[in-house]
Amino acid sequence: MPSASAALATPVAPPVPWQQDARTIGVVSAAHATSHFFHLLLPPLFPAFIAQFQLSYAELGWLVTLFFVVSGIGQALAGFVVDRVGARPVLLAALGFFVLAALAAASAQGYAGLALAALLAGLGNAPFHPADFTILNRRVSPARIGHAFSVHGITGNLGWAAAPLFLVGLSELTGSWRLAYVGMALVAAAVLLLMFVHRDAIDDRPAAEWPRRAAAAAAPAQARPVEPASSFAFLRLPEIWLCFSFFLFSTAALAAVQSFASPALGQMYGLPLSTTVLVVTVYMLVASAGMVLGGFLVPRFPDVERTVSLAVAASAVLLVLAGSGAVPGMVALACVALAGLGSGLAGPSRDLMIKRASPPGATGRVYGTVYSGLDTGFAIGAPVFGLFMDHGHPQGVFFGAAAALLAAIVAALFIGPHLRAQRAPA
């Protein structure tokens, strides 16, 4: 038994007021919503670019690829940058890049200007997941970390939901898509100001960490977790690449919905843009609701890969139905929107799946690597689905998205045995 003096010497952390955790979660989540908002910097206004600059859908798809190639490479490296200079300055710089990206889009005179906007936005988007999770893990008390992850994920979906309504609505209201991008720059500037005003809530330096973690940092060295022999040792684990593959395929399907579901529904069913543009917004709102429900599934169904597979399969069925042309136009739109429910339900289980796959001491690097699969999926999916549109096959957007979801299911099911082998006694 430990002696009384040893017990007295053990640092005891005071309880953290919920307001303190809530402020950190709120500021980080507002930044995360902005990053997802800027994922859709260009796609909602593709029809305007086609009309003004005589571009094809495939050319516009390559702009999305540029964004996500820059973001994906940057995200894989960002964990190392965050570890070196801290998450807070990196996030502030990222919001600055978003302001520049929106202004570049507003002043674009052709394809090169749009490419510059995509490049700047990709640089801004790159560090968000490693920086966000670093701040949340260091600042939020363990009792509330699950809520932090849920709010973080939901606000990302809300950012996706808001972008099409904001851009299309403001461009129609003002009669100018350029003014819509000025408005987008003001949004990023406002969030940047919010983060600066509340910069103490996102201070991730060791002295500002949640007290128990600061106490743990001061504990004897032998009590700390052993770091991997190499910073890159985690790359040899097959479950890491299966998680990467799951993100790649599931995000390729999301790229189809976000970039081309609206014009595809218009071509297949003759629905106006003012109606079809709602599909992405409703998809993301439904996904947010599914994410809330999915949080309750995690403790009830510990085999997370099965939960993920069933939810994603339901989404694939709905997309096939929309692409079949066998239902009325508004029913097809509803099918695409409801496919977001499966994506949302899978979200918490997916994140737990990644956490279980992460070896001790490599969480940040794993998140950076696995989440770069998200960028890769967008980068590959956008030009591929753009070709379907250019060649007069809008149904291919939905069938291709469903096929990508099936590939994601295969990856998830292969992850399961590796996770169970990790948990099995030696």
Closest CA to 386 of 29, 113, 39, 62: 62
Measured distance CA(266)–CA(350) in Å, rounded: 32
| Structure confidence by residue, pLDDT tens digits, 23-69 | 999 999 999 999 999 999 998 899 899 999 999 988 998 998 899 88
- List the chain domain ranges: 19-213, 234-426
Note the pLDDT of residue 157: 83
Task: Identify whether the C-beta of residue 351 lies closer than 8 Å to the C-beta of residue 137.
Answer: no
CATH number of 19-213: 1.20.1250.20
Do 19-213 and 234-426 fold alike per CATH? yes
| Structure confidence by residue, pLDDT tens digits, 333-386 | 999 999 998 888 777 666 667 766 666 656 566 777 777 888 888 888 888 898
* Domain formed by 234-426, architecture: Up-down Bundle (1.20)
| Structure confidence by residue, pLDDT tens digits, 76-101 | 788 778 877 888 999 999 999 999 99
pTM of the model as a whole: 0.73
pLDDT of residue 226 exceeding 60, the answer is no
**Is residue 319 very low, low, confident or very high in pLDDT (cuts 50, 70, 90)?**
very high
Q: Beta-carbon neighbour count of residue 309 at 10 Å?
A: 24
Angle between helices 57-85 and 128-139 (to 10 degrees): 40
